[in-house]
Chains A and B, each alone.
Chain A
């Protein structure tokens, strides 16, 4: 009947562009990826008006000859699937869709010169049509200019944010790509002003990555994070992970890479959530840079048009590797609180002291009794005996309690302020958790089994996890095709909404391949108990009690942040104090 028509090429490209090109940053991503694929060692990016007017990417990569230049803007033209299958993909691009998609929503000019050739050519795509093939003056690599973004798709244009915001998105994507390519120089200019200039380094191995992360993430991150490493079979994990105290209110700063490809993968982010579980409040997120190297046949990157998600053949192995290596790095880091906090403290100190200076002059007549150390006794001999030698203890020797809330201790290199409630709460929780993991978990047997109805596909999932859940104290069996009978539940939990719990569990298993909900709830019961059985702010402590707390903290994993991810102590180095007094 002629109702079904083959779509015009231009229209096909526009549809594809709808998936891939969302905003200027998407174009920057595609172009920079192409440059990386072309083995460039320097990439210069420039945008004007947040990329709406102009995006220009210049690289020194392998370039294209005249013939390739003319076909590269055609749909499904790619040089990257040489072995004609999608199994072993080692380049960032492989769909042959980026350039035609960009060409369908804006004008492009590409100049390129093939490696050792002397012939440089330029081609333009205007109104979606290839025109204007002419010689060019470019001496190396490829230069792509994208102008008047979305002028042919006004609806899209409307959705763009301010130039500033779009510019920041561009910078964010460059940062993301640059992290995994420390061997490439990156520069970025906005409206003619240089924003970034990151030079490559050749220190070898992880040092280069660290150097680049310092450039991209800032030194704060480097000093507030620890490195993580893991290897199993053909899979390698490496990266820098933020201390729990260095947390954010979204997962945006979790930079994950699979074979150097930046991804935003839910499974991986879920694994990180699991790894930081109990160290962070539920609405806080760690800052993480993590590289996963895996044989390319073990991972499918062709899942999502923007390639931001991947699928692993053995997801649960990856997951457990992440959880285990992150946990063990954090535990090894032990008593270390993010230096970001003490930096913040220092800046507060300095601004505070200037502000208070006047006030101090006016009313320094009365002595604040609160400042008299609460644990000093009148007997000088006794005091001497109470103090211990600070050296050899990471958290030093307790000197005094202030405001019956904080402990001040002196270490070899500075002083430490400890929040007594947060610290003790953490210790109690760790002990409780230890007790409850090593003890066989207690379960309450039900008088009347609780029947929970489930859809067929959920049934098979929950039954697969039956043994794991039993270990956590949730015992059930198959009742009929579409329901299970819960027979026992963890004695720690009361007033359970079984249907909700089971359904949440299935959702979590589908999403993250793990039974978080239950252990999280058990953890939160422990957490509440810990909070109630811990010493409070306002409780007066003796020097011995304070020292005991410090020694306990040194011996307990994860004791440097409380159950809500706040620090339990902060360190002020002598050099920080010297800065405060302008001595350095």
Chain B
């Protein structure tokens, strides 16, 4: 293999693919990136066996003198290219599959390689359904739910985001849901064209994080492709393919209460800051706070027998019955950070039942918080 490639184009591609590679691997080849020089250009592939990211560099950014394939350490190659000046020509050359030499202006590297035949290959059949979605919409679907994904591995089916379609009032929506058993987040958007027939799927946590990284690149639209066991997200020359979580997402609709009648509307920013301040004294692991709503007032309190107590009051409009509910302050903060509108709407019932939270300016996002008994 012998190619010449623009350093900036190579860096962008490596940025996309290298992050899927796990830092520690028991199978050495999984630490590597596969470089394939073909007629159209250079193809880079990295995988952790569950997710594969593939990107090509084509056109004026490359010059293929001799085709061939080679694999070398993804992290090392990324670190090298990162430190090269922008927009210079980098020469990649390998005679055998044992060494890759990298030359740029007056620097030269020789990296050890592993045989390309050993690099795992992914099935490349077509997906059943494909649809385009605006990046900003996908970001919203992910950001407003991903914080609630579970980390606990025995309930693996909660270690991701559940994406599916629903019908409500004659309208079709694309919906994402995540929960860790303590809180739940649910976000809807009008169904993108072509997404009507997608199956309900659970997208694993790492895949979500990788897709989210790709979306940082500010492309307008991406294509999502799905079937029962795989998902792919692609735009321009990048394509991520991932396995889906094989499991059944619990019937979450039953836990979302209908009746919560104690409703307050409060400035999100002020509540967020108040909770953050008050929870300072609640230093133990449970980080408990209490939210008390009564007579045009919300008070947030925390009490730590060793350290002292704290309280903060916010004026609101509320004439209903007094209610006081304990929460893990971290959960309240997590939700408040996802609210982009000015106000947060809190719908409460009693200290042992779920509390609902809405974004006043985004009624299609819903958060459920389970109380803490304090």
Contacts and interface: CB of A to CB of B under 8 A. Distances in A.
B372 A444 contact: yes
Given A444-B328, A445-B373, A435 B305 contact: yes
Given A442-B326, A442-B373, A447-B354, 12 more contacts: A432-B306, A435-B305, A438-B305, A442-B374, A444-B370, A447-B182, A448-B252, A448-B255, A450-B155, A491-B288, A497-B154, A529-B284
Per DSSP, chain B at the interface is: loop
Interface string B347-374: 0000010100000000000001011111
Contact of B286 (A431, A450, A491, A497): A491
Given A442-B286, A447-B183, A495 B328 contact: no
A447 B285 contact: no
A511 B357 CA distance: 46
A437 to B, nearest CB: 11
B151 interface: yes
Contact of B372 (A445, A448, A495): A445
Contacts of A495: 151-152
B11 interface: no
Contacts of B155: 450
B370 A445 contact: yes
A88 B252 CA distance: 62
Nearest to B148: A447
A500 B153 CA distance: 12
B232 interface: no
Interface string B234-255: 0000000000000000101001
A498 B155 CA distance: 10
B372 A450 contact: no
A445 B255 CA distance: 12
Interface of B: 151-155, 179, 181-184, 250, 252, 255, 284-286, 288, 305-306, 326, 328, 352, 354, 368, 370-374
Interface string A490-513: 011011111110000000000000
B349 to A, nearest CB: 12
A445 B252 contact: no
B372 A492 contact: no
Given A448-B179, A448-B252, A492-B285, A443 B305 contact: no
Contacts of A431: 306
Contacts of A499: 154
A447 B284 contact: no
Contacts of B286: 442, 444, 491-492
Contacts of B374: 442
Nearest to B369: A447
Contacts of B255: 447-448
Closest 3 CB pairs of A and B: A491-B286, A495-B152, A497-B154
Nearest to B183: A447
A156 B270 CA distance: 80
Contact of B305 (A439, A445, A492, A496): A439
B354 to A, nearest CB: 6
A30 interface: no
Most buried by B among A445, A450, A496, A497: A445
Contact of B179 (A443, A447, A529): A447
How large, as a class, is the contact surface on chain A? 20 to 34
A525 B368 CA distance: 27
Interface string A518-536: 0000000100010000000
A488 interface: yes
Interface string A440-474: 00111111101000000000000000000000000
A491 B285 CA distance: 8
B285 A498 contact: no
Interface string A475-501: 000000000000010011011111110
B153 to A, nearest CB: 8
Nearest to A441: B373
Nearest to A446: B181
A445 B286 CA distance: 12
A488 B370 CA distance: 10
A215 to B, nearest CB: 48
Contact of A498 (B154, B252, B284, B288): B154
A497 B154 CA distance: 6
B152 A443 contact: no
Q: Most chain-B CB neighbours within 10 Å: which of A432, A448, A499?
A: A448
A525 B151 CA distance: 18
A497 B156 CA distance: 11
A488 B183 CA distance: 13
Contacts of B371: 445
A443 B373 contact: yes
Interface in A388-437: 431-432, 435
Contacts of B370: 444-447
Contacts of A450: 155, 181
A491 B372 contact: yes
Contacts of B373: 442-445, 488
Nearest to A528: B285
B121 to A, nearest CB: 35
B305 A447 contact: no
Contacts of B250: 448
A444 B182 contact: yes
Contact of B288 (A442, A488, A525): A442
Among B152, B179, B354: residue with most chain A CB under 10 A:
B152
Contacts of A497: 152-154
B54 to A, nearest CB: 34
Nearest to B184: A447
Nearest to B250: A448
A444 B374 CA distance: 9
A448 B373 CA distance: 16
**In the complex, which of the residues A435, A443, A497, A529 has the most CB atoms of chain B within 10 Å of its own CB atom?**
A443
